[in-house]
Each structure stands twice: as structure tokens, then as C-alpha cells.
Amino acid sequence: MYSGGKIFAGLGIFLVLLTLPFWYGKGRTAPPALSLDTPEIRKLSVKKCVEPTPYMKASHMELLDRWRDAVVRDGRHLYANHEGKNFPMSLSQTCLGCHSNKEKFCDACHSYSGVKPNCWACHVVPKGGGT
């Protein structure tokens, strides 16, 4: 009366077809294209962040957490990067000095990644958005 094998085979084929776009990455959203062309960055003679770009993309939150702990708990205010160059440990002065548009820089990636950093619980959101 009922063909259980055919029903399960049909369901299996349906599920494979339904999930096929995800298996081949067609269900992905393209990462945001971030503009690093800001007036602040244009003024720099050497256009380099405190650490290399791949490290900053993957680990900037860990770096900022270490900076917070060093400033608040240890009273240290200078960060020496991998080249030995010193930078103030300051989200407002160091990071936002170059990446001045929170909406176009910070929020674009954080929304794409689905994360909600707690930076702005203590720090003031920059006004005007910059460029």
C-alpha cells in the first residue's frame, strides 16, 4: 500500500536539493568592502595599522581586551608592536584616529559577523561618523 522506500528516497533527494546551495557556498553573504580611504589615513606617510592586517582582522578584539587590561589594571599606556614601534593603547586615539567612521568600518564587519562588541558600553561613539 505505502512505498516507504520511495518516500524516504524522495525526502532524501529533497533535503539534498534544499541544502545544495549551502554545500557550495551559494548561501553565503559577501563580506563587506571596507573603505580605508579616509582623510586621516591619506595623511599618513606609512599606511600601516598597529599590527598586520590579517592579525587585525582575526584578533583585534583580543588585542583591545589586552590593551584595556594593561591600561586599567597595570597603568601601562603604550603598546609596542611586532616591529617595536610604540602606540598609545587607546581605542579613541589610536584605532578611531584612522578608522574614523564607526558605521562604515566597525559596524559593517560586526553586523556581517553577527557580533556585538561591548566597546561602546564605556567609550563614547564618535559624532559625525567621519569619512
Spans of all domains in the chain:
34-121
Q: Note the pLDDT tens digit of each residue in 3-60.
A: 888 889 999 999 999 888 777 776 677 888 888 888 888 888 888 899 999 999 999 9
Residue whose C-alpha is closest to residue 120's, from 94, 98, 93, 92: 92
Tell me the whole-structure pTM to 2 decimals. 0.71
In this structure, the number of other CB atoms found within 10 A of the CB of residue 67 comes to 21
Q: How confident is the model at residue 130 (pLDDT cuts 50, 70, 90)?
A: very low
Q: How confident is the model at residue 93 (pLDDT cuts 50, 70, 90)?
A: confident
Average pLDDT of every residue of the chain: 87
Give me 7's grid cell: 518516500
